[in-house]
Amino acid sequence: MKLKVKKISLNTGGPFVAVLNEDDAELLDVRALDRVNIKGIEAIVDISKENHKTAVNKGEIGVLIELFENLKLKNGSAVNITPANKPESLVFIRKKLDGGKLKDREINVIIRDVVKNRLSETELTYFVSGCYTHGLEMNEVVNLTKAIVEHGGELKWNKKIILDKHCAGGLAGNRTSMIIVPIIAAAGYIIPKTSSRAISSASGTADTVEVLCPVSFKVNEIRKIIKKTNGCLVWGGAIGMASADDRLIKIEKLLSLDPRGLLLASIMAKKMAVGATHVLVDIPCGKEAKIKDMKEALKLKRQFIELSKRLKIKTRVIITNGSQPIGNGIGPNLEARDVMDVLKGKGPLDLREKSLHMAGIMLEMAGEKNGLEKAKKILDSGMAYKKMLEIIKAQNGRVKNASRIKLGEYKKEFFAEKRGIVRRINNNKANSIARIAGAPEDKFAGILLNVKRNIKVNAGELIFTIYSSNKDRLRYASDSSDSFIEVE
């Protein structure tokens, strides 16, 4: 059947979608969520029933932006439409929903269809739900990791040692990567660090790096950056090397699900994709972190180690203190300021010490003796700061002194109501307050902490400040700050 193209200016965020008039759909014998073939590409069908200006009329096919651009269609041009079979992967998704164990090929087919945008958000949700309800055995996790890499691409290097690190997440202000990368790169090792943007936090590493330089680069551009500097700090979402993982994460966050097997595969696929041979994994543990108790942390540690052995990646896993935010700043500009201060020999002590501890371990993984001492020497000598400036320049950024990183035009200071000891700094609330203030989109917004847990404060002492570029947002954030810091 030939139909006239009607561009629909809507994004799906992934799958290819085409809209048919209900009469044409009936002639083709297709229903909503069935598939049609357009110029060799499969699209998921939606049905238009309403008879108004935005409806798809008989003889037309509505094409959403992703499909329109992929096929390079022209509005009003004619295309041939034929019914297509549903993806084979749906059979395997159903198998997982029923509690079955997926074989290598079955997982590969699912990931292939995810990458080719052949699955709807609903169908992907079923897969994530099946993994959450029934879990993934280690064989499934290994095969899932390999499939994500196979269908996304992989960086390869002519070096025996490629270092990388990952944090299981959950702590505000935990910007250790931005200090570790220049230390490792200054030591002469390659560290191709890809990072994520914030989803529920006040800032992801990529959001904070973006204060200093661009983070979106193609694979060939990343190669050039690393050739110049040994390291990079880029946004993983711009590379498309683990695009299947990106779509799965989107569903997980939407449902507030975090299936352990998908978490493990997600992390290690990204390490494999950048060619990492030696990986350090940080698991912050505490009531304020994603991993709440030591039993859960130790189990996750064992799983990381087992998976790494199966993937032939040398991995070290550390469990760190997750009781409060790291650093003083929470929000892109505030966190960037902390990082640049630490690299210049100042800044928050907890951020400095944790970064040095991790960098030291990574250097020892690479064969260095007294890794911590070497990391300190590189940082204290200014070598790490110089290397960071090189990376910023290679990523087309401008060098910024910490003091010149601007904060929000509007601010509100909060003072201790009584003398006592800081017993709690609510990490989840920290992220919430900073996001209400505008972070991470408003890079000037966030929270500046003046205290840490177990520190004595006097009545009237400044304990934190909220910044924003918007008066109303500042007011809303301030109204939400009750019990953020508890003094007893």
How much is the pLDDT for 197? 85
Say if 2-84 and 406-487 have the same CATH topology.
no
What is the residue-wise DSSP string for 91-123? HHHHHHHTTPPPPHHHHHHHHHHHHTT-S-HHH
Q: How far apart are CA 257 and CA 251, in angstroms?
A: 8
How much is the pLDDT for 237? 73
How much is the pLDDT for 442? 97
Q: What is the percent of the chain with per-residue pLDDT over 70, rounded to a whole number?
A: 97
> How would CATH label the architecture of 406-487?
Alpha-Beta Complex (3.90)
How much is the pLDDT for 11? 84
Q: What is the percent of the chain with per-residue pLDDT over 90, rounded to a whole number?
A: 76
2-84: which CATH topology? Barwin-like endoglucanases (2.40.40)
Q: 406: how many CB neighbours lie within 10 A of its CB?
A: 13
Q: What is the mean pLDDT of the chain?
A: 92
| For residue 259, pLDDT beyond 90 | no
Q: Express each pLDDT in 143-189 by its tens digit.
A: 999 999 998 878 889 999 999 999 987 789 999 999 999 999 999 99
Q: How far apart are CA 159 and CA 178, in angstroms?
A: 23
Q: How far is CA 461 from CA 214, 418, 419, 454, in A?
A: 38, 9, 9, 15
Q: Phi-psi bin for 169: left (phi > 0), alpha (psi -120 to 50), beta? A: left
Candidates 1.10.287.3510, 3.40.710.10, 1.20.970.10, 1.10.10.10; CATH matching 89-135: 1.20.970.10
Q: Is residue 94 exposed (0-12), middle (13-18) or buried (19+ Cβ within 10 Å)?
A: middle
Q: Express each pLDDT in 65-102 by its tens digit.
A: 989 999 999 999 999 999 998 899 999 999 999 999 99
* CA 452 centroid distance within chain: 27
| For residue 221, pLDDT beyond 80 | yes
* CA 329 centroid distance within chain: 20
Pull the structure tokens for residue 298: 């130790």
Q: For the chain, percent helix, then strand, then coil, each to nearest 5?
A: 45, 20, 35
pLDDT band for position 242 (cuts 50, 70, 90) = low
| For residue 339, pLDDT beyond 80 | yes
Q: How far apart are CA 395 and CA 222, in angstroms?
A: 9
Q: How far is CA 376 from CA 173, 183, 381, in A?
A: 21, 9, 8
Helix (H, G, I), strand (E, B) or coil at 264: helix
Mean pLDDT within 397-403: 81
The answer to whether 258 is a known catalytic residue is yes
Active-site residue, from 23, 24, 29, 258: 258
Q: Find the range with the poorest average confidence among 162-166, 238-242, 418-422, 458-462.
A: 238-242
| For residue 256, pLDDT beyond 70 | no
* CA 257 centroid distance within chain: 15
Mean pLDDT within 364-389: 97
| For residue 53, pLDDT beyond 70 | no
How much is the pLDDT for 288? 80
Ordered alpha helix ranges (H), 54-167: 65-70, 89-97, 104-115, 121-134, 138-150
How much is the pLDDT for 254? 64
| For residue 117, pLDDT beyond 90 | no
How much is the pLDDT for 98? 95
Check if the beta carbon of residue 137 is closer than 8 Å to that of residue 101: yes
Mean pLDDT within 325-332: 96
Note the pTM of the prediction, 2 decimals: 0.88
| For residue 289, pLDDT beyond 90 | no
Q: Is residue 275 exposed (0-12), middle (13-18) or buried (19+ Cβ within 10 Å)?
A: middle
Q: Is residue 305 exposed (0-12), middle (13-18) or buried (19+ Cβ within 10 Å)?
A: middle
Q: Where are the domains of the chain?
A: 2-84, 89-135, 163-242+259-394, 406-487
What is the CATH code for 163-242+259-394? 3.40.1030.10
